[in-house]
């Protein structure tokens, strides 16, 4: 399955958008956290998990989705949220904890919910699996179109929830796709030290579903595998599993010293964005002027979202008591 | 005080009342469906989905694999996508394998979405012992669930309330944990409490979640309990009446929201409080009720309050040990006698 020129530019544009968003978040996150790193300080307190390097997973999958389709994402959600079309202003405002944020600041960067595009994420490993299966069940029972995609990391494939969810989805032949972003690290523990099989896509066989493997963080490889899996789900043929070799270019979270990474390992990882840019230029899908315009537009969009967040107020503290129940 | 109208003389067990409420809501609302272990052709291990499979079929009454994490998580996802699932955790003791789906997903998604993505689902689960099933199948864990914010918790003591609370729970836009005590289910093989099988109207009705009931009026002592404990209290009240004391019995019915006002009003009248709870003694419902009375500026207790609760031990198998540890009417009467001797 080949993406169209328009889809290629869409994927590239959303990678650029996500990356620039995270570069700006990174800078803003560090405000107030130097010289002594204190997670509680600065305009963006708390944990911050950047997805730099993992953008191909998000865009290659979401290129096949509409707002109606459901996505559950992980504690490292920004690239997926951007690709799924989550309202950028409200998302950034949420990351700042502001009143105009997706949930008025109750959730923060690990708990982003945008019902308009059926996006949610969670801070607990593997937690999006059950809800994705349930959303797929909901569509199947209601006879409504739509597939659900659960993004997880490779570490989550060792959670009980992973095996329960895959089995349940297969037993009920649900329109759901499980996408593993294999960045090779579960915080500080290497994949090979934690996982009994070198590749998680082989685990699909245990649940009678197709397993796909995408090597080398390849945008169009993700696009092809996801296209096949999502088409299968839409046709009512049941779930699929995809594992994507991707790259965690940053630490597990900001402030992570990453002493556990072997020397040169991170430096050896290719940044997927310049690589895809070069491929698109060479294919004639993009020219330099077009790229400049696309990048400038992405930067402008991100800056506007950041301004929106910075200019927004916080909810009064006692608003913490609201929305426990509806 | 809540009064209930019993328009029918037909008596139902709690199990049948739950199934009837579920069937009635399923008939009028296609979004309602049931899933869990053995809820299909078997009709639920404790009878509370009996008849549903025959009427609604395998699409809407789904037997699941033994995968509580997946199917409770799936209920959250389905509820967030416009369905109204009723999901069963067969024994509350099994919460250990799936609590993440319950308290991190079901109970928090509404809040973390700023109230924009409600999670209208019912998690029904059996509680209680007394039949030598030991400590992995006999707990109540009322306090555990009520402690964690984001889910309503109801505990019926009789079939009338069970039907009304179930209907209310299904119609509620929030997650509701429906905890039914095995000894009240009318299953026969579980030592059925006769007082739980009461007249139940055939038409659909709701019992408001968050409202306690004054099950028996009295002036000398307030007995507060829930689930099976209500029946111990009623027996104790009868025994105390023979001694010339008038005990008021309050059935909490809901733990979240908790009707503190009804308890306080009663204690303001009687000045004496005994809380009866089959859940563990410490950090639970009994402590919460006593604190709710004691911290109120209008508190006028004539005696130090007492609690008759399960000791802080895992539940033993041997009937001699288990029955010794469980609350009963004699212990409630004894607690009151001690209270009198102390004041």
pLDDT digits (tens, 9 = 90+) for A59-107: 999 999 999 999 999 999 999 999 999 999 999 999 999 999 999 999 9
Determine contact: B113 vs chain A, CB below 8 A.
yes
Determine contact: A106 vs chain B, CB below 8 A.
yes
> DSSP alpha helices (H): ranges in chain A?
5-30, 55-62, 78-84, 88-95, 129-142, 160-171, 191-194, 219-234, 272-283, 288-311
User: Please, what are the domains in chain B?
Assistant: 11-199 (3.40.50.970), 213-342 (3.40.50.920)
Gap from A68 CA to chain B (nearest CA, Å): 10
Pairwise CA distance, residues B272 & B300, whole Å? 9
pLDDT at B192: 83
Pairwise CA distance, residues A81 & B281, whole Å? 46
What average pLDDT does this structure show over B218-230?
Answer: 98
Write down the mean pLDDT value for chain B: 96
Residue A57 lies in a domain: yes
Task: Work out the angle between the directed axes of helices A272-283 and A55-62 (0-180°, nearest 10).
Answer: 50
% of chain B beyond a pLDDT of 90:
94
Pairwise CA distance, residues A307 & A298, whole Å? 14
Most B CBs within 10 Å: which of A134, A137, A166, as the mutation test of the B interface? A134
Tokens read off for A135: 């959303």
pLDDT at B1: 41
% of chain A beyond a pLDDT of 70:
100
B contacts of A135 (beta carbons < 8 Å)? 77-78, 80-81
How many domains is chain A built from? 1
Gap from A224 CA to chain B (nearest CA, Å): 27
Element (H, E) at B87: strand B84-91
Tokens read off for A195: 């996982």
Residue A303 lies in a domain: no
Pairwise CA distance, residues B284 & B123, whole Å? 20
Q: Do B117 and A102 touch (CB under 8 A)?
A: no
Span A8-67, pLDDT tens digits: 999 999 999 999 999 999 999 999 999 999 999 999 999 999 999 999 999 999 999 999
Pairwise CA distance, residues A233 & A213, whole Å? 17
Gap from A314 CA to chain B (nearest CA, Å): 14
Looking at the partner chain, which of A103, A131, A134 has a beta carbon nearest the beta carbon of B114?
Answer: A103
Q: What angle do CA B231, B235, B239 make, to 5 degrees?
A: 165
Q: How many residues does chain A have?
A: 326
Looking at the partner chain, which of A138, A160, A326 has a beta carbon nearest the beta carbon of B81?
Answer: A138
Determine contact: B109 vs chain A, CB below 8 A.
yes
Q: Where are the beta strands (DSSP E) in B184-290?
A: 198-199, 213-216, 221-225, 247-251, 254-256, 273-280
Residue A10 lies in a domain: no
Pairwise CA distance, residues B260 & B254, whole Å? 11
Q: Do B174 and A122 touch (CB under 8 A)?
A: no
Determine contact: B26 vs chain A, CB below 8 A.
no
DSSP conformational letter for A285: S
Span B245-267, pLDDT tens digits: 999 999 999 999 999 999 999 99
Give residue for tokens 């029955």: B323
Q: Measured between alpha carbons, how far is residue B283 from residues A253, B141, B225 in Å?
A: 36, 11, 16
Residue A33 lies in a domain: no
Q: Which residue from B117, B94, B216, B102 is spatially nearest to B153, judged by alpha carbons?
A: B102
Q: Which residue from B241, B199, B197 is spatially nearest to B219, judged by alpha carbons?
A: B241
B contacts of A133 (beta carbons < 8 Å)? 70, 73-74, 77
Q: What is the CATH number of the domain that holds A209?
A: 3.40.50.970
Pairwise CA distance, residues B145 & B283, whole Å? 12
Residue A317 lies in a domain: no
Residue A321 lies in a domain: no
Pairwise CA distance, residues A82 & B127, whole Å? 45
Residue B196 exposure: Cα atoms within 13 Å on the Cβ side: 32
Residue A115 lies in a domain: yes
pLDDT at B2: 46
Residues spanned by the domain of A55: 48-86+106-284
Pairwise CA distance, residues A152 & A181, whole Å? 6
Answer for the pair A181, A54: CB distance below 8 angstroms, yes or no: yes
Span B22-65, pLDDT tens digits: 999 999 999 999 999 999 999 999 999 999 999 999 999 999 99
* Distance, C-alpha B73 to centroid of its chain: 22
Write down the mean pLDDT value for chain A: 97
Determine contact: A67 vs chain B, CB below 8 A.
no
Residue A310 lies in a domain: no
């Amino acid at each position: 399955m080949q993406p169209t020129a328009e889809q290629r530019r869409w994927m590239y544009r959303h990678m650029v958008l996500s990356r620039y968003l995270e570069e700006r978040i990174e800078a803003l996150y560090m405000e107030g956290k130097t010289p002594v790193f204190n997670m509680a300080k600065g305009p963006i307190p708390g944990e911050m998990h950047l997805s730099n390097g993992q953008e191909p997973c998000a865009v290659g999958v979401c290129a096949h989705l509409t707002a109606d389709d459901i996505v559950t994402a992980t504690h490292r959600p920004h690239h997926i949220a951007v690709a799924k079309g989550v309202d950028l202003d409200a998302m950034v405002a949420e990351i700042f904890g502001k009143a105009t944020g997706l949930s008025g600041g109750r959730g923060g960067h690990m708990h982003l919910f945008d019902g308009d595009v059926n996006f949610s994420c969670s801070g607990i490993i593997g937690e999006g699996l059950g809800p994705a299966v349930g959303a797929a069940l909901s569509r199947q029972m209601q006879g409504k179109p739509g597939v659900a995609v659960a993004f997880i990391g490779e570490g989550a494939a060792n959670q009980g929830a992973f095996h329960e969810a895959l089995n349940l989805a297969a037993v009920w032949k649900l329109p759901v796709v499980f996408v593993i972003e294999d960045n090779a690290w579960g915080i500080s523990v290497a994949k090979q030290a934690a996982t009994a099989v070198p590749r998680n896509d082989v685990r699909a066989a245990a649940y009678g579903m197709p397993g796909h493997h995408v090597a080398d963080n390849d945008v169009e490889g993700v696009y092809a595998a996801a296209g096949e899996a999502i088409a299968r789900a839409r046709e009512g043929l049941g779930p699929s599993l995809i594992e994507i070799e991707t790259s965690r270019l940053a630490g597990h979270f900001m402030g992570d010293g990453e002493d556990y990474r072997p020397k040169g390992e991170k430096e050896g990882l290719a940044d997927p964005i310049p690589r895809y840019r070069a491929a698109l230029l060479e294919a004639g899908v993009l020219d330099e002027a077009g790229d400049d315009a696309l990048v400038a537009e992405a930067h402008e969009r991100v800056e506007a979202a950041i301004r929106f967040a910075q200019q927004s107020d916080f909810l009064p503290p006692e608003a913490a008591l609201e929305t426990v129940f509806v | 005080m809540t009064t209930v109208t019993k328009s029918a003389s037909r008596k139902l067990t709690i199990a049948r009342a739950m199934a009837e409420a579920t069937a009635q809501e399923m008939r009028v609302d296609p979004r309602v469906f049931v899933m869990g272990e053995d809820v299909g052709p078997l009709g639920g291990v404790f009878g509370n989905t009996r008849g549903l499979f025959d009427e609604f079929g395998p699409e809407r009454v789904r037997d699941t694999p033994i995968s509580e994490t997946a199917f409770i998580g799936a209920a959250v996802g389905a509820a967030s996508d416009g369905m109204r699932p009723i999901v069963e955790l067969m024994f509350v003791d099994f919460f250990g394998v799936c609590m993440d789906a319950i308290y991190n997903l079901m109970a928090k998604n509404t809040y973390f979405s700023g109230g924009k993505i409600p999670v209208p689902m019912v998690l029904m689960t059996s509680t209680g012992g007394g039949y030598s099933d030991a400590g992995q199948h006999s707990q109540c864990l009322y306090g555990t669930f009520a402690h964690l914010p984001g889910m309503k918790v109801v505990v019926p003591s009789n079939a009338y309330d069970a039907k009304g609370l179930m209907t209310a729970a299904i119609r509620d836009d929030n997650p509701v944990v429906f905890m039914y005590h095995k000894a009240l289910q009318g299953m026969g093989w579980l030592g059925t409490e006769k007082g739980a099988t009461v007249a139940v109207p055939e038409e659909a009705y709701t019992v408001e979640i968050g409202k306690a009931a004054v099950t028996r009026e009295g002036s000398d002592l307030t007995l507060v309990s829930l689930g099976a404990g209500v029946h111990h209290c009623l027996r104790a009240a009868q025994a105390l009446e023979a001694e010339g004391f008038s005990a008021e019995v309050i059935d909490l019915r809901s733990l979240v929201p908790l009707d503190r006002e009804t308890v306080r009003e009663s204690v303001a009248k009687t000045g004496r409080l005994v809380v009866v709870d089959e859940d563990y003694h410490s950090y639970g419902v009994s402590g919460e009720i006593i604190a709710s009375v004691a911290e109120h500026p209008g508190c006028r207790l004539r005696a130090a309050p007492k609690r008759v609760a399960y000791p802080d031990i895992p539940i033993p198998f041997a009937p001699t040990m288990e029955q010794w540890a469980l609350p009963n009417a004699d212990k409630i009467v004894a607690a009151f006698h001690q209270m009198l001797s102390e004041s």
